[in-house]
Amino acid sequence: MTSDGEWYLSDLANGIERSRILSIAADVRKMKAEGKEVAAFTVGDFSPEQFEVPPIFIEELSDAVLANQTNYPPAAGLPELRNKLSDWMKHRYDLDVSSDGIIVGSGARPVLFSSFKLFLEPGDGLAHGVPAWNNHYYVHLNSAVDIPIRGTPESRFLPTAEGIKERISETRVLILNSPLNPTGTCYTRNELAAICDVVLEENSKRKVAGVKPVMLVYDQVYSTMTAKGVSHVHPVQVRPEIFEFTITLDAISKSLTATGLRLGWMAIPPVLAPPVIALIGHMGSWPARPIQFAAAKTYSNPQTLEKYFSDLDMKISERMEVLFSRLDAMKAEGLPVNYIPPEGGIYLSTQFNLFELLDVKTNEEIRKWLLDEAGVAVVPFQAFGLEEDTGWFRISIGAVSVQEIVEAMNRLEEAINQI
């Protein structure tokens, strides 16, 4: 008998791994509490001091609470919210899902988890890009077979159609994320069309053989955040026939910088919706009724939203430009830093190739040095399933000011030059 709880728990529970990102964030909070200068480039959160939720959302939220809208909402979401989100998906992405195909959850995670539960049996293949956010954890939670599709710097760390095709016969669910967390890179129309063609070709074979199809889970929670000259693309926009095999995930957590308000949704062919609604209901993972009222009002005016997203892109770009210019200057000096220009979201893939300079062998040693010596808190790609020590890290700009970035880059350049 063990004393640490293992004896009491299921094998599934004993195998759950804690998020590495949250562990790193705890170290950052501790250092800040001790009064140390640290730039928190870690969690994918938004500082309310830097990025405000749309005022209309806060106003409507307050009004709903004051109007005593505090009882249970319907499991699938308020009808008016589902209608408005359906209209929004058509307006923004040309995805024509009726309100019956919109299911609301308390953030993107419950609808993501429901997506996997909807299709995966134990032992089914869950294919995902590497690096990518949390997919390797969901493999375990669903007793699935892990099918990592490795991205490379040459592919902007996005999984390619060629890589997916090699494993498609083993795959039951393929999840794609664009803009990609942790890299901030986006699929082009041609890249996404090639992947859709792989899925459609495989499903044509499976239909003849009477085998369950490959389902595409498309996570686009950062889709409203794109760099100048970059357009987000949805699978249905490039291959309309992929609709019946596609589940789209979205949320206000990132698009409205409302990470703590917890509202996400799934857009799914309506015929597949009933079991998801039942699962959301059994979990009780619906957003609070006032939050749903506020979201319905906010999404009633696409023009106001588009203006908000445009302003948000400017704030993100302002921070990214500081990073680009300073990292470019360091590269010009011959310092061992590199990055892949992001195309969307709030992340920058950055390489600190400090192995020889520091005489170390692992990303974790570099991460600790960056934190201790430069006050730069970053997340190694190991947290996103890429286990090799290659010097690649994620920088998130959601919780830092422009001035904090400037000061962090000053500390970084000085610390590297002192080695």
pLDDT in tens, 142-190: 999 999 999 999 999 999 999 999 999 999 999 999 999 999 999 999 9
Residue 60 and residue 45 in one domain? no
| 3-state SS class at 403 | helix
- Band (pLDDT 50/70/90 cuts) for residue 20 is confident
Closest among 128, 83, 75, 124 to 101, alpha carbons compared? 83
Residue 215 and residue 243 in one domain? yes
Q: Please count the structural domains in the chain.
A: 2
Is 111 contained in some domain? yes
Beta bridge partners of 218: 176, 248
Is 195 contained in some domain? yes
Rounded Cα gap, residues 236 and 199, in angstroms: 13
Residue 40 and residue 59 in one domain? no
Residue 130 and residue 274 in one domain? yes
Query: Do 203 and 170 contact (CB within 8 A), yes or no?
Result: no
Domain-terminating residue out of 278, 301, 324: 301
| Whether residue 131 has a cis bond before it, omega within 30° of 0 | yes
Query: Do 228 and 235 contact (CB within 8 A), yes or no?
Result: no
Residue 40 and residue 65 in one domain? no
Q: Residue 262: give its domain's CATH number.
A: 3.40.640.10
Residue 106 and residue 205 in one domain? yes
Rounded Cα gap, residues 203 and 336, in angstroms: 45
- Give tens-digit pLDDT for 240-296: 999 999 999 999 999 999 999 999 999 999 999 999 999 998 989 999 999 999 999
Is 325 contained in some domain? yes
Beta bridge partners of 125: 145
Residue 281 and residue 364 in one domain? no
Residue type, 194: A
Query: Do 370 and 18 contact (CB within 8 A), yes or no?
Result: no
Query: Do 341 and 153 contact (CB within 8 A), yes or no?
Result: no
Closest among 26, 61, 25, 94 to 263, alpha carbons compared? 61
Is 35 contained in some domain? yes
Residue 75 and residue 116 in one domain? yes
Give the count of alpha carbons within 13 A of 399, CB side only: 17
Given this model, what pLDDT does residue 2 score?
Answer: 52
Residue 235 and residue 157 in one domain? yes
Domain-terminating residue out of 266, 301, 336: 301
Residue 209 and residue 232 in one domain? yes
Is 1 contained in some domain? no
Residue type, 377: A
Rounded Cα gap, residues 4 and 23, in angstroms: 20
Is 371 contained in some domain? yes
* Residue 327 belongs to domain spanning: 6-51+307-417
Given this model, what pLDDT does residue 44 score?
Answer: 85
Q: Residue 394: give its domain's CATH number.
A: 3.90.1150.10
Beta bridge partners of 340: 349
Residue 348 and residue 222 in one domain? no
Given this model, what pLDDT does residue 1 score?
Answer: 44
